[in-house]
Amino acid sequence: MRFIRSFSYAWQGIRSCYKREKNFRIQLFLSLPVYCAGFYFGLSGSEWLAILFCTMLTLSLEMINSSIEKLADFVTSSIHPVIKQVKDIAAGAVLLSAIISIVMGCIIFIPKLKPFLK
């Protein structure tokens, strides 16, 4: 029963992030055209793994970043230099993940788009 409850709590966290975090929703909706393009171009299994890994990594890091920001804002409403640094580092992790996701998408999709560009 505890095991099942833990899944319930995790889904509550995902729903909460979806409802309250604009960046999470943006990143989620940006992944939808990528998935559609993946079906259209018939990605290989390894290409799907790369796409799914990149999108889920970015969404997961966004959730961690949001959690850190909420906790920091709960602790103090003033701008503390250490809390600012922690928030900036967490945001940087999301940015790095988003950048590598874009690079990975370009590596996968640009060769598939070349015939359409000629």
pLDDT in tens, 68-108: 999 999 998 888 999 999 999 999 999 999 999 999 999 99
- According to the model, what pLDDT value does residue 116 have? 85
- The mean of the pLDDT values for the chain is 95
Q: Using CA atoms, how far apart are residues 101 and 105, in angstroms rounded to an integer?
A: 6
This prediction has a pTM of: 0.90
Q: What are the backbone angles phi and psi of residue 80, rounded to the nearest 5°?
A: -100, 135
Element (H, E) at 113: helix 81-117
pLDDT digit string, tens, across residues 42-55: 999 999 999 999 99
- According to the model, what pLDDT value does residue 118 have? 74
Q: Which residues contact 58 (CB under 8 A, 6 or more apart)?
A: 27, 94, 97, 98, 101
pLDDT exceeds 90 at position 3: no
- The domain limits of the chain are 2-117
Q: Using CA atoms, how far apart are residues 36 and 14, in angstroms rounded to an integer?
A: 22
Residues 18, 24 contacting (CB under 8 angstroms): yes
Q: Using CA atoms, how far apart are residues 43 and 20, in angstroms rounded to an integer?
A: 33
- According to the model, what pLDDT value does residue 64 have? 98
Between 1 and 83, the more confident residue is 83
Tokens 């949001």 belong to which residue?
66
Architecture of domain 2-117 in this structure? Orthogonal Bundle (1.10)
CA dihedral 106, 25, 66, 12 (to 10 degrees): -120
Q: Using CA atoms, how far apart are residues 28 and 51, in angstroms rounded to an integer?
A: 13
Q: What is the mean predicted confidence (pLDDT) over 26-47?
A: 97
